[in-house]
């Protein structure tokens, strides 16, 4: 069935030096890869060896949007139950599509999974966590910005051994009224309880978005996890 899965389109910022690492960053609800592409360009100036891939979500009906279609990785029923009432089937379908991008990087572009960082913002961070924690590939790192843990009652059991020690950068604004800050805190606590390597950063007075300090912290995380020369 995987062969019939629609291939995602992506906005790509190519490495400007020898390509030796890749970041796959997944956008949030109603956005597109273009929304985060400028961040890839900014980070790319400091990480010339890194290729940035920003996949575009397909348009699907979203209950939160009165059933009207919009770019979305899975259905969202309501913000008040965003961390509990989750569209598992939609999440798993999108995970398969993201895995196609990962396999292409590994098998066709010869980038080892250990030189790939995956993650995203909001709904995209949920997909990054789901893909990163459950894949058999061992990634260099996982990014979660303003997100929450998917399928929290079963995700720990779904997690592969490959990424149980993979560093996770988690940034969240304490004034977030969309994906509430407490959802992020609870998600991080669950991961830490199960011995995952989460680095949690709180951004004061930040709503549902990013800020220059978070991007600087993200840059430092990428410099650590996918440096110019692969770690010995």
pLDDT in tens, 83-124: 678 999 999 999 999 999 999 999 999 999 999 999 999 999
pLDDT at 196: 97
- Predicted confidence band at 79 (pLDDT cuts at 50, 70, 90)? confident
Tokens of 52: 């940035």
Measured CA to CA, the distance from residue 121 to residue 29 in angstroms comes to 9
Pick the residue with more confidence: 14 or 5? 14
Measured CA to CA, the distance from residue 210 to residue 122 in angstroms comes to 10
198-203 and 168-173 beta bridge pairing:
parallel
Residue 2 has pLDDT above 70, yes or no: no
Contact in structure between 111 and 20 (CB atoms under 8 Å): yes
pLDDT at 134: 97
pLDDT in tens, 123-175: 999 999 999 999 999 999 999 999 999 998 899 999 999 999 999 999 999 99
Task: Provide the 10 A C-beta neighbour count for residue 109.
Answer: 10
Residues designated catalytic: 122, 176, 208
pLDDT at 229: 74
């Amino acid at each position: 069935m995987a062969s019939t899965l629609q291939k995602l389109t992506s906005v790509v910022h190519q490495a400007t030096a020898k390509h030796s690492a890749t970041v796959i960053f997944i956008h949030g609800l109603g956005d597109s890869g273009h929304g985060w592409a400028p961040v890839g360009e900014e980070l790319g100036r400091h990480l010339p060896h890194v290729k940035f891939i920003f996949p575009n979500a397909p348009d699907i009906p979203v209950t939160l949007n009165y059933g009207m279609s919009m770019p979305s990785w899975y259905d969202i029923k309501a913000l008040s139950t965003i961390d509990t009432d989750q569209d598992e089937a939609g999440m798993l379908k999108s995970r398969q599509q993201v895995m196609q991008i990962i396999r292409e990087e590994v098998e066709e572009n010869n980038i080892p999974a250990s030189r790939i960082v995956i993650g995203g913002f909001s709904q995209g961070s949920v997909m990054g966590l789901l893909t990163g924690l459950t894949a058999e590939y061992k990634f260099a790192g996982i990014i979660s910005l303003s997100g929450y843990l998917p399928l929290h009652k079963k995700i720990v059991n779904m997690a592969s051994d490959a990424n149980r020690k993979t560093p996770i950068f988690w940034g969240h604004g304490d004034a977030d009224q969309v994906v509430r800050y407490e959802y992020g805190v609870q998600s991080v606590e669950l991961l830490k309880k199960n011995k995952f390597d989460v680095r949690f950063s709180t951004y004061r007075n930040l709503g549902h978005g990013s800020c220059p300090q978070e991007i600087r912290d993200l840059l430092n995380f990428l410099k650590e996890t996918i440096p110019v020369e692969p770690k010995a």
